[in-house]
Amino acid sequence: MKTLLTGFNRFGNGEANPSQLVVENLRVKSAGATDWIAEVLRTEFAEAGRRIVELIREHRPERIICLGFNAAGESIHLERVALNLDDTEQPDNAGARHAGKRIVEDGPLAYWSTLPIEGMREALLRRGIPAAISNHAGTYVCNHVFYVARHEVETLGLDCACGFIHLPSLERMPLKMMMEAVEVCAGFS
């Protein structure tokens, strides 16, 4: 299954972003595989939104798994909903700060994840990997990319499962376990 996997680079206090490390490591592991597209996005509203659209149009994936880092998370968070809202005190890496702003002016208020998140959670827990469903992905750059990706899939009418997974900090979960988690999710359909 042609899968697009994305992560984000460092942001905020500059702590390593586990989603970047997971994507870079999986890119090395899947080198040569033509059905995997793995890319680290910049943590910038405009650039990340532009790039995810470009990737979807170019590759027309059958599955999109976007990854991000949630420092406050205690487990793998399988996100349920993307909101049509950017709202943050924290500037992105380009210095942009969005307050109460719709992502797509005439877009729906929210999109549901179309990844099989319940099944993914069960599969993760069976492996002993802490995981939970989260009801929304925040209102910063991760939610932005999740929403833009879902909107693009709808707009193009692609038959493509698309969703978002937040990873906890490396202090809470070793990178190896996070990689296993992403592989379990990617292998689950």
Site string for ligand PCA, 165-184 (x = CB under 6 A): --------------------
Q: C-beta of 157: minimal distance to ligand PCA in Å?
A: 27
**According to CB under 6 A, which one of 19, 75, 84, 113 is a site residue for ligand PCA?**
19
Supply 160's token pair: 């493509």
Q: Using the 8-state DSSP alphabet, how is residue 166 labeled?
A: E
Name the phi and psi angles at 27, rounded to 5.
Answer: -65, -40
Supply 88's token pair: 């943050």
**According to CB under 6 A, which one of 115, 141, 181, 186 is a site residue for ligand PCA?**
141
Number of residues engaging ligand PCA in binding (CB under 6 A): 12
Task: Point out which span in 94-102, 115-123, 136-144, 181-189 binds ligand PCA (CB under 6 A).
Answer: 136-144
**According to CB under 6 A, which one of 36, 45, 111, 140 is a site residue for ligand PCA?**
140
Q: Is the CB of 50 or the CB of 60 nearer to ligand PCA?
A: 50
Interacting residues with ligand PCA between 37 and 96 (CB under 6 A): 43, 68-70
Q: How far is CA 188 from CA 28, 43, 117, in A?
A: 21, 28, 10
| Residue 163 within binding range of ligand PCA, rule CB under 6 A | no
Give the Cα separation of 125 and 133 in Å (integer). Answer: 12
Supply 56's token pair: 């979807």
Q: Work out the number of other CB atoms within 10 angstroms of the CB of residue 98.
A: 19
Q: How far is CA 126 from CA 117, 131, 133, 135, 185, in A?
A: 14, 10, 15, 22, 12
Q: Which of 46, 35, 48 is nearest to 6 (CA)?
A: 48
Task: Point out which span in 49-57, 105-113, 126-134, 140-148 binds ligand PCA (CB under 6 A).
Answer: 140-148
**According to CB under 6 A, which one of 17, 75, 84, 134 is a site residue for ligand PCA?**
17
List residues binding ligand PCA (CB under 6 A).
8, 11, 17, 19, 43, 68-70, 138, 140-142
